[in-house]
């Protein structure tokens, strides 16, 4: 038998739970708006609203582990920055995330503060010696929920050493799939940081992933390299990994004050449509400073606009991974 509903609660909607999503939205909307003549105050108020809406929010969990490779063969477009900050943001949303550093530069390992000097086991050992991924993974001390399989310098040799190896394109996929299948608590997300090239390492990441996540820097020629990447993705899909799809595009280092950035953004949205996240990442000194403190911006300066943007982007990604969300 169901409990009787009291007269009071029968006709009144329940007050939003404090700290619940509705409560956050209500408080954020209640913040007074500012007029256009005070841009700084306006920005602060807007950031305060975004912070209220996002901080402490628990993201939806995907039904199975989502494996994304962050790829763009153009150098310096924000691949690593995006990989580590989206990983940290997803973890701050309550999810378990494994970052696989497949770039010999080891920048993702640095930003996550994990050891990756010569004596440390890393992705090289996984690819060349079939070491278990579980045996090279380290915890990221700054962000609970994030783990990382580091890249050491010897990984640069793998590009050539892999050439004669049997099933050389499938090495990373096998390692990740075996790890996910055998883990007591598998990660909700595996995010792979790939190098700025289309060699065997990048090929391994495209075969291992189910989704390609392309960061695009808002500058001249932004789309030129992407055309080549799209061709490679198509070839991989036809020959090696039929499950692969470009699922996500993120505009990085966006400077809203310039006409160029707006033009590039419009062009990217025309080409990729709904794959482009609504959130874009602003050019921000705090974002670029964070790695030198062995941190992501999500812990280095969580209230900065860069961190907020990555949190918004992560929430969009999480929403898209769950049926029922648009
Ligand atoms: P590579 O191709 O060498 O691997 P990448 O595509 O991984 O490069 P990043 O290393 O993430 O690119 O970024 C390149 C540079 O731009 C770095 O110095 C980084 O700190 C800086 N950067 C990335 N995103 C931003 C941002 N939103 N604001 C300011 N600087 C940024
Ligand atoms: Mg990089």
pLDDT by residue, tens only, the chain of 326 residues? 344 444 344 444 555 566 677 777 777 777 666 665 666 777 777 777 888 778 778 999 999 999 999 999 999 999 999 999 999 999 999 999 999 999 999 999 999 999 999 899 999 999 999 899 999 999 999 999 999 999 999 999 999 999 888 889 999 999 999 999 999 999 999 999 999 998 999 999 999 999 999 999 988 888 887 988 999 999 999 999 999 999 999 999 999 889 999 999 999 999 999 999 999 999 999 999 999 999 999 999 999 999 999 999 999 999 987 765 54
- Domain finish residue from 5, 33, 57: 57
Q: Whose CA is nearest to atom 9 of ligand 1?
A: 78
Residue 326 domain flag: no
What whole-number distance in Å separates Cα of residue 146 and Cα of residue 308?
A: 18
Pocket of ligand 1 (CB under 6 A): 75-81, 103, 105, 107, 196, 252-253, 281, 283-284, 287-288, 306
Q: How many A from CA of 97 to the centre of ligand 2?
A: 18
Q: What is the pTM of this model?
A: 0.89
Domain end (from 6, 38, 57):
57
| pLDDT tens column, 113-167 | 999 998 999 999 999 998 999 999 999 999 999 999 999 999 999 999 998 888 8
How much distance in Å is there from the Cα of 289 to the middle of ligand 2?
A: 15
Atom of ligand 1 nearest to the CA of 196: 2
Measured at the CA of 77, the angle between CA 73 and CA 83, to 5 degrees, comes to 90
Instruction: Identify the residue whose C-alpha is closest to ligand 1 atom 15.
Output: 76
CA distance 203 to 302: 34
Residue 127 within any structural domain of the chain? yes
Task: Give the domain range for residue 51.
Answer: 16-57
Instruction: Indicate if 53 and 174 belong to the same structural domain.
Output: no
Q: Same domain, yes or no, for 130 and 279?
A: yes
Domain limit, last residue, from 29, 57, 85: 57
């Amino acid at each position: 038998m169901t409990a009787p509903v009291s007269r009071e609660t029968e006709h009144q909607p329940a007050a939003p739970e404090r700290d619940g999503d509705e409560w956050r939205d209500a408080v954020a909307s209640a913040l007074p708006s500012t007029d256009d003549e005070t841009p700084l105050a306006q920005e602060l108020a807007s950031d305060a609203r975004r912070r209220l809406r996002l901080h402490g929010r628990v993201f939806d969990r995907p039904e199975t582990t989502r494996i994304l490779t962050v790829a763009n063969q153009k150098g310096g477009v924000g691949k690593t920055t995006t990989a580590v900050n989206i990983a940290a943001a997803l973890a701050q949303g309550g999810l378990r995330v494994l970052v696989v550093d497949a770039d010999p530069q080891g920048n993702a390992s640095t930003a996550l503060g994990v050891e990756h000097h010569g004596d440390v086991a890393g992705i090289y050992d996984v690819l060349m010696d079939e070491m278990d991924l579980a045996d090279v993974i380290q915890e990221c001390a700054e962000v609970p929920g994030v783990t990382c399989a580091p890249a050491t310098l010897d990984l640069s040799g793998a590009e050539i050493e892999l050439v004669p190896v049997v099933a050389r394109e499938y090495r990373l996929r096998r390692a990740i799939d075996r790890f996910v299948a055998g883990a007591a608590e598998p990660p909700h997300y595996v995010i792979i940081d790939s190098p700025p090239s289309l060699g065997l390492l990048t090929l391994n990441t495209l075969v291992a992933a189910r989704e390609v996540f392309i960061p695009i820097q808002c500058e001249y020629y932004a789309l030129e390299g992407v055309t080549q990447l799209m061709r490679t993705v198509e070839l991989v899909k036809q020959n090696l990994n039929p499950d692969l799809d470009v699922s996500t595009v993120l505009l990085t280092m966006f400077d809203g004050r310039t006409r160029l950035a707006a033009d590039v953004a419009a062009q990217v949205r025309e080409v990729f449509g709904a794959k482009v996240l609504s959130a874009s990442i602003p050019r921000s000194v705090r974002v670029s400073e964070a790695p030198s403190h062995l941190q992501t911006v999500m812990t280095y300066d969580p209230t900065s606009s860069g961190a907020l943007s990555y949190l918004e982007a992560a929430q969009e990604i999480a929403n898209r991974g769950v049926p029922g969300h648009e």
